[in-house]
Structure 1
Amino acid sequence: MIADGAGANTLEATRLYLQGLQPGDARGGAVGSLVVDGPGFTNAMQSVYPLDTRTVPGSDEQNPDVVYDPAQNYDATPVAGTNAAGYQRGFAGYDWNRATYPDSGNTASAISDGQKTYNNAINVDGSGDAQRSTAELAHSLGKATGVVSTVQFSDATPAAGGGAHNVARSNAQDIAAEMFGAGVLDVIAGTGNPDYNDDGQLRATPNYQWVGPEVWNALRDGSYASSDGGTWDLLQDRAEIIAAGSGEPTDERLAMLVQAFTGSNFYRSGASPAGETEIPFSVPRLDTSPTLTELSAAALNRLNADEDGLYISIEGGAVDRAMHANNFGRMIEEYIEFNDAVQYVVDWVGSGESRATWADTLLIVTADHDHLLFGPDGATIPYQSVLPDQDGDGVPEYAWFSNNHSNQLVPLYTAGANAEDTLALSDQRDVVLNAEGQAVAGSGRTYTDEAELGRYVLEQFQLGETIDWNSTAERVLANYAETGQWFFS
């Protein structure tokens, strides 16, 4: 489960907002903690740096200038003035983060296939060669697979989590065709619906940016089939999607393209003007858009039919979109929706209706990257955390220092089977000491890296694979004859 763009201050802002609610408020007096703060979850961090910030294939050589470095991240040398985008520069560490940022293509790919790659890539290496993803491996082992998002299903994070491959995330129609046609996925859910705008209203003319007309029209008339002959059941209406969350699941693959184009809720009309703080939930959310919990319930009900188990990638994609827009209130909204979905998944794994159990299921809750969000005095107090509400509007105090991503560490939480292994992976220390020998700002945390996490997840699936050793020997010999190297592929 990936809350796109959600770094430590995103989570802290959501906690602070929830702490300020009273019974009868919009969220019903929810407690000021997140699901991942509860028992059963490990707590570490992970680095998110790209192979390179270039956006086209080049080489597999790591650019050392973008590798996460605590000393550069926490460089508190003051820097005066504003940058070209109009944000206060603040400190040298902020400048370094702006210059070395990753994107969701390479970060989600690292989690999916265990390889570092360049910005813009989808499950290809730095040279543009396709890499085997967790979704593909899980499918090859007979497991049901799915991807769910609150943004366009063929955009970077769901595309990578869904096992697609492309040298550029912008090739969305090609990515959509692969996701529906490759025979790897059993569930696809998200926005990008050509027939609807971001207020859930029908368009006069379809927009095929996220899925091509041939694929879309075939999905609508029920004639579309994957390469293996599997057909798709298309749901668009919220009531139908909610109904799919219980009862007998469809025998077909399940496509849920909600009645929205860019995002299920973030892009709805009525946002506060730039520079003003929008109070979370002050603009009613769309009745036409299912929640991430409702999408996840429908997806899990379908995947649960498979006796061999499942792999699913669930994204709260609009957390990132809100942060790009510097809309703090809607950022909190979107993370609360993501947190609700985490609670649903936790309850589902522990319920009698799920084939999954905590003994055989690993739940990962993380982000793909962060943004430069700090406290209200972050321009003079380096790396200041967001602060509790001080003006009575219920919203924590904050300041933005970019409308783009950062290279900071992101939270990593795990629960269930072998969850403690992720703590063992987190063997690096994010420590920078001040003149008094104390850890500065938020440093002092242990961390792993997204690619290392991705490789670990792939290994967990491979441990469950029944190997035909005669066939394996033949493959090793064939590889040696072709390449002169001994390896198993």
Structure 2
Amino acid sequence: MRFALSFAKHLAVVAIVGWCFSFTAHLAAEEAAPSAVRAKNVIIMVADGAGFNTWRATSMYRGQLGNEVYDKPGWIHLAVTTYPLTTSSKPQGQDKQNENLVYAPQKAWDSEKGYAWLRSSATDSAAAATAMASGIKTYNNAINWDDLDRPLTGKTLPEIAHELGKSAGVVTSVQWSHATPAGFGGAHNRERDNYAEIAQEMLAAPYLQVIMGAGHPEYDNNGRRKSGQPTDKDCRYVGGLAAWQSLTSGKHPGGWTLIQSKEEFEKLTQGDTPAKVVGTAQVATTLQQARGGLLGVVARDEPFATPFNDHVPTLATMALGAINVLDNNPRGFYLMIEGGAVDWANHANQLHRMIEEQSDFLAAVEAVVNWIEKNSSWDETLLILTADHECGLLWGPNSNETPFDPIRDQGPGKMPAARYNATGHTNSLVPLYARGVGADLFRKLIRGKDSRAAEVWGISGEFVDNTDIFRVTRAVLTGQNLAP
């Protein structure tokens, strides 16, 4: 009898162990199983330095508040936290999150202390680009480089896209070796200001087929050709004098075709294209924002009052040209498009120039949406719109005395009533709008809710982190489940 009971218990234990093993194996298989969500193309569009009020103020001027393309059905609306690992400009060798920098609504909306926490805990564009392109929080100043002083080699979105047989590219309205295109373009550097090194790495990278932006060594901010021959310093944004000479002669070992004129950019939007294109518009630092003087220091006129540089392409033209090159690959592509000079205008507290730059960015968004709907589909392409951080603490006209005083809408074609409260970056939430295959994955990654943000901006208040942009993008590129 005891033997029978013992045998029965043994069978029960074996059955339980077997069931547990089977269940565990099932879970493991489920975790490793490919997701049903897979994108042929992923396009990430970044309005650099554009917090919620930058987007809203521009839409007010355009008479499109609540009626922009991303306000239409089918779009995911969330907020994003942008804090860095540390605000140090060098690796600390600890890889430990500074908890005071982590976004906290009660700190962000503290009216008694004004905007002190928001202003003292902000990311820079390098750390933000690294977070979005590699999923790794790091120190300010780092381009795909971690706090343990290691390059994040093989871990960035363009490198992942390349492993999958896809094409990749970056487009910007500022110098193409600047922090955001460098980060999203898979460069690796301890310091963002090592422009020549970064440009050289981008040009040598096997995973980039398109690089576009400003930074032309032979032209000034108004698009006038400079006298004399360019120096090595003049050429730092394009890799140095030797790299520039190899590009202009058509002999760069990377096999790049260089385009420079507005007409060349426009021609690239249709028809056959070279396999690899580096586009350097004929202007020094930005396509338009800096026209009229160093860093755009001109009279605070109305938007679009100062004549534009008429010999450079728009961001929309550059975006469509880039897509026309990249979509030659039947396996698809990854592309980052940056409205980089939105940040420059906010740094300079130029509301009029900010509206110009954000309007140019939104025109590019509309062009990309139109391309998706005519040449691709939302079933095979994911489009993400966001910002890397807020800049300028743009609020209402009395926000210096009444914290978070709202911006006043004055009607279409009129400057909204607003004022800046900083010349640098802040730790404020920024928008995220997404549509297409895999966009719903962001809803699985919500980290919290900011009720005050919901009240002030008329949003849900739910937020994800900037590293989640990498997680979703990697998941839809690879077809695998979201990684922890």
Pair in the same fold by TM > 0.5: yes
Equivalent in the alignment of 1:210: 237
1:60 corresponds in structure 2 to 95
Give the drift of 1:440. 7.3
Name 2:47's counterpart in structure 1. 3
Deviation at 1:393, TM superposition (A): 7.9
For residues 460 and 69 of structure 2, the distance between their equivalents in structure 1, rounded to whole angstroms, comes to: 23
Q: 360, 377, 382: which is aligned to 2:403?
A: 382
Q: Give 2:292's aligned residue.
A: 269
38-47 vs 338-347, which moves further: 38-47
Q: Which residue matches 2:109?
A: 74
Q: CA deviation at 1:441?
A: 8.1
Pairing partner for 1:94 from 115, 126, 141: 115
Pairing 1:45–2:73 present: no
**Greater RCO (CA < 8 Å, at least 6 residues apart):** 2
Q: 1:272 to 1:157 in 2, by over 3 A?
A: closer
Q: Aligned to 1:374, what secondary structure does the other structure show?
A: coil
SS in 2 for 1:15: helix
Structure whose CA Rg is larger: 2
Query: Following the alignment from structure 1 to structure 2, what is the Cα–Cα distance between the partners of residues 256 and 276?
Result: 31
Is 2:138 the partner of 1:122? no
The letter for the 1-side match of 2:408 is L
Q: How far 1:209 sits from its partner (Å)?
A: 2.6
Q: What's the CA shift for 1:270?
A: 6.2
AA partner of residue 437 (structure 2): A
Aligned residues of 1:278 and 1:327 also touching (Cα < 8 A): no
Amino acid at match of 2:417: E
Matches within 5 A, 1:95-110: 95-110=116-131
SS of 1:45's equivalent? strand
* Deviation for aligned residue 1:439: 5.9
Contact 2:62 2:413 in 1 (8 A): no
Q: CA deviation at 1:201?
A: 1.3
CA deviation profile, 1:337-393 (whole Å, cap 9, x unmatched): 000100111110111xx3x32111110000000021110011232212211229x98
Give the secondary structure class of the aligned counterpart of 1:400: coil
CA contact (8 A) 1:146 1:162 kept: yes
TM-score with structure 1 setting the length: 0.84
The AA in structure 1 aligned to 2:59 is: R
Task: Please show how residues 162-201 of structure 1 align to structure 2 within 5 Å.
Answer: 162-201=185-224
The question of 1:459 aligning with 2:475 is answered yes
CA distance in 2, matches of 1:72, 1:412: 21
CA shift, 1:464, in A, is: 6.4
Specify the code of the residue in structure 2 equivalent to 1:50.
P
Letter in 1 for 2:473: V
Match of 1:397 in 2: 417
**Counterparts of residues 37-436 of structure 1 (less than 5 Å):** 37-58=71-92, 59-77=94-112, 92-131=113-152, 132-204=155-227, 205-206=229-230, 207-211=234-238, 212-226=240-254, 231-250=255-274, 252-269=275-292, 277-351=300-374, 354=375, 356-371=376-391, 372-389=393-410, 394-431=414-451
- Determine the C-alpha separation between the residues in 2 that align with 1:217 and 1:276: 37
**Deviations along 1:440-463, whole A, 9 cap, x unmatched?**
787961000001221221222222
**1:36, distance to aligned residue in structure 2 (A):** 1.4
Percent identical residues: 38
Residue type of the partner of 2:444? A
Match of 2:19 in 1: none
CA contact (8 A) 1:51 1:61 kept: yes
Contact 1:383–1:441 under 8 Å retained in 2: no
Q: Kindly provide the CA deviation profile for residues 104-156 of structure 1, in whole angstroms up to 9, marking residues without a partner as x.
A: 00011101000101111111111221221001100111101010000010000
**Cα distance change, pair 70–219 in 1 and its aligned pair in 2 (3 A):** same
Which residue of the partner structure matches residue 471 of structure 1? none
**Structure 1 segments of 4+ aligned residues over 3 angstroms from their partners:** 30-33, 270-277, 438-444
Cα distance per residue 1:73-96 (max 9 Å; x no partner): 11111xxxxxxxxxxxxxx25011
- List alignment gaps of at least 5 residues for structure 1: 20-29, 78-91, 466-487
- TM-score, length-scaled by structure 2: 0.84
Letter in 2 for 1:172: Y
RMSD between superposed Cα atoms in Å: 2.3
- How many Å separate the matches in 2 of 1:8 and 1:232? 38
2:46 and 2:178 map into 1 onto residues whose CA distance is 14
Please say if residues 84 and 138 of structure 2, whose CA atoms lie closer than 8 Å, have aligned partners that are also in contact: yes
In 2, the alpha carbon distance for the partners of 1:14 and 1:46 equals: 19
CA distance in 1, matches of 2:414, 2:212: 33
How far, CA to CA, are the matches of 1:309 and 1:31 in structure 2? 33
Write 1 or 2 for the structure with the bigger share of helix.
2
